[in-house]
Chains A and B, each alone.
Chain A
Amino acid sequence: MSIRITDNAQYSSVIDNLFNIRKQYQDVMEKLASQKNINNISDDALGVTRVLGFKQTNQAIGQYQSNIDNTNSWLSATEGKLNNANDLLTEASGLAVSQSTGTANADTRKIAAQKVQAIMDEMLSLANSKLGDRYLFAGSRSDVKPFESVETAATIDEPMYGKANAYGGTVVKSGAYTGTKNNAYVLKIVDGGLRSAATYKISDDGGATWGAVSAPTDLDSDVDLGDGVKLTFAAGTFAENDLFYVNALVSGYYKGNDGALNVSVNKDSSAQYNITGEEAFTDKGDGSIDVFKALQSFKDALTDNNVDGISTAIGDIKKAQDQINLCTAKCGSRANRMEMAKNNLSELEFNMTSLISATEDADLAELSTTFSMKEVALKAAYEVASRISSNSIISFLK
C-alpha cells in the first residue's frame, strides 16, 4: 500500500520546512550582522571558553602596556633630572679645577662659593622634583619631600598613629637612632585590651614583615622598636590593629627611604622603575659619596680659601658624577627593559587578537554565499507554500 499523504501532514510539513529554512536564514543573517561565528555561548561552548581566555590575556596585556607607558614618563623624567644633576656637577667640577690653580685667590674663591651655593640650590630643587604629585627621588615615601637644604643629625620623628586607632592615650618616643638608613618602625596591637593585657608585634621594615607577638604587660614598660627607637605608652585601652609608627632618619639631607617602586610588566614579572634619592645622592649609593655633603664641603673650602679642601673636592665631585651617571645608566637599562617588555607584549597581543579573530570571527565570503543559498531556499519554500492548496482533486471535479 502506498503511503497516504494527508492534508494535515502536508500542511505541517510545509510549515516545518518553512520554519527550518527561516531559522537557518536568521542564523546566517545574525552572523552577517555581527560578523561573528559565535553569537550565543551555546553556538560553540569550547570556542567561547577559549575566546574568554584569550580576552583575559588581552585585557591583562593592555594593562601591562598601560603600566609600562605610565613608568616611561617617570623614567624619562628621572633620566632628565639625573642628566641635569650631572651638568651641575660638571659646572662645579670646572669651578673646582679653576679655583685650585695658582691664579685663583681668596676673592675669586668667595665668588665661586656663591656659584656653588647656586649649584646646590639648583641640585636641591631637582632632587626634589615631582612627577604629578609624587617625588621622583623619595623612594616609596613619595609623598614626602626627600631632601632638606641643611644637613640634620640622626633623628627619631614624633610617633604617628593609625587614624582608626581605638587607643587615645599619649605615646612618647625616646632613644637615639642607631640605624644605618632612613626607616619606619611599626608597632601593631595583636590582642586588644587594657595596657597590661594587650599584646603587640613589631616591624622594623615599615610594616611589611613582623616579629614575634609580645607577652601581656610588655606595654607597661618602654617598648624597644629596634635600633634605639623606644616608645612609652600612657595607660589606656587598645584594640586589635591599633597602629603606631615612627620614622627614624639617619644624619644627612635625605628624608626619603630606599623603597623600590615596582610595576607588573608581564604575567609573574614585575620591574622596578624608580631611582631612590638614597642611591643617587647619598653615600649609600654605589659611589659612596653624598652629593650634597661634597658640594657643601667644596663650598666651605672655597669660603675658607682652603686649597687642599678644593683639591679633595675635585675628586669627590668626580665620584659624585660617576654615582649619578651610574644611576642614569640604571635608568636607561630599566627603560630598555620596559621597551623590550612592551615589544613582547605587542607581539603577544597581535597573536591573541588573531586567535580571537580565528575563533569567533565569521568568514564573510563564505557567509555571503551561504546567505544567497539560504535566500533561494527560502524563496523556493514560499513558492511551494503558495501552491499547496491549488493542487487537489477538488479543482478537477466539476
Chain B
Amino acid sequence: MSLSGLLQVSRNALASYQMAIDVTGGNIANVSTPGYSRQRPVIMATGDVQGGATNTQMSVEVTKVERFFDSYLEVQIVDQQQKAGYSETESSLLGRIELIFNETKGAGLNDVMGRFWGAWDDLAINPGGQVERDALVSASEELATRFNTMAADLQDIQQDANLSIKDTVSEINKLASNIADLNKTISERGNVSGESNRLLDERSEGLKSLSKLIDLNYVVDDNGALNVFLPNGKQLVTGNVAWELNFRNDHVVFGSSTESMDQILAQGDKGKLAALLNVRDENIPDYQGKLDDLAKEIITQVNNLHQEGYDAYQNTGNDFFVPAGSENIAKKMAVKSEIINDVNRIAASAVVSSGNGEVAQAISVLKDQLLMNSDSTTFGSYYGSMVGQIGRDVADANSNAEHQDTILTQLISHRDSASGVSVDEEMMNILKYQMGYNAAGRLCQTVNELLDTLMNMVK
C-alpha cells in the first residue's frame, strides 16, 4: 500500500461520485420525460485487501449504469395500449354517430316522422284543402331531407374513418421504421453498460405508440433487436428492417401485395386501426342499412297506397316518393317533383270523387302497422330500437374506453413506481453522493498532508 495508491483511491472515488451525481442529475432532469426509465450507477468496490504492507487497497468504481425496467410490466402495458387505443378510437367515432341520432332533445327523425303521418291525417279530414296539401308536401320533404342528411352524415364519418385509416397506416410505417433504425444502433453498440439506455427507452416508447395503433406481438432477440409481428404472423420489423403497410383501394395491404388485410387487422379489437376498420366496415354499414331499410319500407308502403288513390285531377297509379333504388336509399329519398310542383297531384282519395280522404287516412294508419323486421314492428318502434342499439353501442364503447383507460393508468403507475423518477429520492441520493464526494476530497487532503509529513521527515 502506497500513499500514491491512496491518491488513486481518492481519485477513483471522486470520479465515481461525480458520475453518480451526473446520473442522478440526469434522472432529475428527466423527471417528467415520458417513458424515461430512471438510471442508477452501480458502484462497486474494486481491489483487494490482503495482509502485509505492500498489498493493494480497496477502491471504488461505477461498473455500469443500470436502467430500472420491468420487461414483464412492459408486455402488459403494450397489450393494454392496444386495447385502450381501440376503445378510445371506437368511443370517439361512435360518439360522433350518436350526435346524428340524438333524439333526446326532440326535433329528431322521430318527431319529423310523427309530423309526416299527422299531415296525412289532416289531409284525410279535408282532402281538398290546399293548406293541408301544402303542409303534407312540406312535412314529406322534411322527412326526406332528414333521411338524406342522416345518411350523408353517416357517410361523412365513414369517409373520415377511411382517411384516418390512411393516416394511421403511414404513422405505423413511420414508427416501424423508427424501431428498425433504433434496433440497428442498439445491436451495433451492444447492450452493455448504460450507453444504450436512452435508445432502449426511446424504442420502448415507440413500441407503445405503435401498439396503440395496431394489433401486434413482439419479441426481443439475442442481439437486442425488437422484432414486431402482425397478428397473422407477418413481420413488421425484423432486426433493422421494417416492412411497409400500404393503403390501396381503401384496403390495408402488406407491402406490394393486393390482398386486403382489413379483416385480419380488425379481428382482435386491438389498436386504433382495428377500431377504424370496424366502425367503417361494421358499425356504419349496419346503421346505414337500417336507415335504408326504414326509408325503403316507408317509400314502398306509401307509394303502394298512393298508387291506388286518385289525385285532384283523377289521375291514378302514381308514386308519392321517388321509388327506392338499390343503394343509398335514405340518402336519395325524395318526394316526386310532380307532387312538389303541384300539390293537387297528391292522391288522397280512394274513389274518383275528391271529397274522399280514405287513401290519406290509410297512409297515416301505416304508422301503426307491423311492416318492419319481417312484419313484426312498426316504423316507429323499429327506429326506436335502432336508436337504442346505437345508444347501447356508444355506451358500451364509452364504458369500455373508460375501463381500458383505468387499467392502463394503473399499469403506468406501476411502471412509474418501478421506473419513474422521484425527486425526493434523487435529492437524497445526491446528498449521499455529495457526502461521498466530500469524504473522498477530504481523503485526498489527508493523503496530501501525509505526503507533506513524509517530505518533511526527509528534509
Contacts and interface: CB of A to CB of B under 8 A. Distances in A.
B394 A11 contact: no
A257 B356 CA distance: 11
Interface string A149-170: 0000000000011111100000
B103 interface: yes
Query: Nearest 8 CB-CB pairs, A to B?
Result: A142-B355, A206-B351, A45-B391, A6-B420, A163-B313, A49-B388, A241-B317, A59-B114
Contact of B389 (A9, A45, A162): A45
Given A134-B128, A262-B361, A41 B103 contact: yes
B355 A139 contact: yes
Contacts of B350: 206-208
Nearest to B422: A6
Nearest to A164: B315
Contact of B418 (A4, A51, A141): A4
B352 to A, nearest CB: 5
Interface of B: 31-32, 95, 98, 101-104, 106, 110-111, 113-115, 117-118, 121-122, 124-126, 128-129, 310, 313-318, 349-358, 361, 364-365, 367-368, 380-381, 383-385, 387-392, 394-395, 398, 409, 412-413, 416-418, 420-425, 427-428, 431
Contacts of B95: 42
Given A63-B118, A188-B316, A42 B395 contact: yes
Interface in A155-200: 160-165, 184, 186, 188
Given A8-B421, A261-B355, A49 B387 contact: yes
A270 B362 CA distance: 11
Contact of B380 (A39, A53, A67, A245): A53
14 contacts: A6-B420, A12-B412, A48-B387, A53-B380, A60-B118, A60-B367, A132-B126, A140-B355, A142-B355, A143-B128, A144-B353, A243-B314, A264-B364, A397-B431
B67 to A, nearest CB: 15
A130 to B, nearest CB: 12
B427 A134 contact: no
B417 A393 contact: no
Contacts of A4: 417-418, 420, 422, 425
B416 A41 contact: no
A134 B126 contact: yes
A266 to B, nearest CB: 10
B202 to A, nearest CB: 17
Contacts of A206: 350-353, 356
A13 interface: yes
Contacts of A386: none
Nearest to A240: B317
A119 to B, nearest CB: 28
A67 B389 contact: no
B355 A6 contact: no
A263 B127 CA distance: 12
Nearest to A11: B32
A263 B125 contact: yes
Interface string A9-23: 101110010000000
Interface string A128-140: 0000111100111
A49 B392 CA distance: 10
B314 A245 contact: yes
Contact of A392 (B106, B357, B424): B424
Contacts of A243: 310, 314-316, 352
B351 A207 contact: yes
A39 B413 contact: no
Contacts of B310: 162, 207, 243
Contact of A259 (B110, B353, B417): B353
A42 B391 contact: yes
A56 B110 contact: yes
Given A7-B421, A16-B409, A49-B385, A60 B117 contact: yes
Contact of A41 (B128, B361, B391): B391
Nearest to B384: A52
A39 B104 CA distance: 6
A7 B395 CA distance: 34
B390 to A, nearest CB: 6
A144 B349 CA distance: 15
B363 to A, nearest CB: 11
A332 B129 CA distance: 26
B98 to A, nearest CB: 6
Interface in A30-68: 36, 38-46, 48-53, 55-56, 59-60, 62-63, 66-67
A3 interface: yes
Contacts of A11: 32
Most chain B beta carbons < 10 A, residue from A3, A56, A62, A240: A56
A56 B114 contact: yes
A360 interface: yes
Contacts of A7: 31-32, 420-423
A70 interface: yes
Given A50-B384, A393-B427, 19 more contacts: A4-B418, A6-B416, A9-B412, A9-B413, A9-B417, A12-B412, A42-B392, A43-B104, A44-B391, A45-B387, A51-B104, A52-B110, A59-B115, A141-B353, A162-B315, A163-B314, A243-B316, A263-B124, A268-B368
A387 interface: no
Contacts of B385: 49
Most chain A beta carbons < 10 A, residue from B355, B358, B392, B394: B355
Nearest to B379: A56
A394 interface: yes
Given A241-B317, A259-B355, A393-B423, A36 B104 contact: yes
